[in-house]
């Protein structure tokens, strides 16, 4: 099994040719498609709904799709995204009144469940629900837009979450989202992340294959250094 996973954030893709661009990043070596859902309420931007996800599945995108819900409320969208073909559904704890209920709803619809933490959201939301999670997402920018700078305070938080995961002998995926580039991915991996969301850092390059190769090389070098 791979130790590190790349999740291409199609927020930075060309929306006029979304199917083709999505297929290209998968064919170029991306493991997952990261699908950012924004509602102009929980975050000040508006993006894609379940119909677009369904269109990608109809276009023969078979890779896992990692849905990042930046919406409030959360629950009524879960059945729709599950039906459209989501693999992971991740939400922000502040956006739902009953975190456990929302996690259970995701599982009942056959998807993997994730919890997303904004840069200043405290980690105590993890208390009592760790065993229900498949993924923890740490935002390294404030949610709402692509192409922002990586907040370095995330590195400390990452180490804290990695410690929680390890002490509980858990295999929860630890994902980081925002401002990840070829230049900083090694440091982020060394701090404990194993799923890397990359939007601008991937789509701004003309040759996806080449940039993904370079990123994988950085990650291979980390793998030889990191103590597991």
Give the interface with Zn ion as residue ranges (CB under 5 A): 36, 68, 177
Between 118 and 157, how does the x/- string for binding to ligand DX5 read (CB under 6 A)? -----------------------x-xxxxxx---------
For residues 7 and 211, which CB has a smaller minimum distance to Zn ion in the complex?
7
The reply to whether 171 belongs to the active site is no
CB-based closest residue to ligand DX5: 199
Phi, psi (degrees; rounded to nearest 5) at 178: 125, 120
Say which residues have a Cβ less than 8 Å from residue 152's Cβ, sequence separation at least 6: none
**Marked catalytic residue, from 14, 21, 36, 171:** 36
> Is 106 a binder of ligand DX5 (CB under 6 A)?
no
The reply to whether 27 belongs to the active site is no
Size of residue set near ligand DX5 by CB under 6 A: 22
CA distance 76 to 174: 26
> Is 200 a binder of ligand DX5 (CB under 6 A)?
yes
CA dihedral 123, 38, 186, 25 (to 10 degrees): 150
Determine the distance from the C-alpha atom of residue 43 to the mean position of all C-alpha atoms in its chain, rounded to a whole number. 16
- Pairing of the two strands 5-9 and 88-91: unpaired
- Pairing of the two strands 5-9 and 195-198: parallel
> Is 50 a binder of ligand DX5 (CB under 6 A)?
no
For residues 114 and 146, which CB has a smaller minimum distance to ligand DX5 in the complex?
146
Q: Three-class SS of residue 67? A: strand
The binder of 114, among ligand DX5, Zn ion, none, by C-beta within 5 to 8 A per type, is none
Phi, psi (degrees; rounded to nearest 5) at 65: -110, 125
67 CB-contact burial (10 Å; exposed 0-12 / middle 13-18 / buried 19+): buried
Q: Which of 34, 37, 93, 161 binds ligand DX5 (CB under 6 A)?
A: 34
For residues 1 and 48, which CB has a smaller minimum distance to Zn ion in the complex?
48
**Residues at the contact surface with ligand DX5, assessed by CB under 6 A:** 9, 11-12, 34, 36, 68, 141, 143-148, 177-180, 197-201
Known catalytic residues are 36, 177
């Amino acid at each position: 099994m791979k130790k590190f996973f790349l999740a291409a954030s199609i927020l930075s893709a060309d929306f006029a040719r979304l199917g083709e661009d999505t297929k290209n990043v998968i064919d170029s070596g991306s493991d997952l498609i990261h699908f950012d859902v924004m509602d102009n309420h929980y975050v000040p931007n508006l993006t894609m709904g379940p119909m677009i996800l369904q269109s990608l599945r109809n276009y023969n995108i078979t890779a896992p799709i990692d849905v990042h819900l930046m919406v409030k409320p959360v629950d009524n969208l879960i059945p729709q995204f599950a039906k459209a073909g989501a693999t992971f559904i991740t939400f922000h704890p502040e956006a739902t009144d009953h975190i456990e209920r929302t996690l259970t709803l995701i599982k009942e619809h056959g998807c993997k469940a994730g919890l997303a933490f904004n840069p200043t959201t405290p980690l105590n939301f993890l208390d009592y629900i760790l065993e229900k999670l498949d993924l923890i997402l740490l935002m390294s920018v404030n949610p709402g837009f692509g192409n922002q700078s990586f907040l370095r305070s995330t590195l400390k938080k990452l180490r804290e979450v990695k410690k929680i995961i390890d002490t509980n002998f858990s295999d929860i995926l630890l994902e980081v989202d925002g401002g990840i580039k070829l230049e900083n991915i090694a440091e982020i991996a060394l701090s404990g992340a194993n799923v890397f969301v990359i939007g601008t850092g991937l789509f701004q390059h003309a040759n996806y294959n080449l940039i993904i190769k370079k990123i994988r090389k950085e990650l291979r070098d980390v793998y030889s250094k990191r103590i597991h």
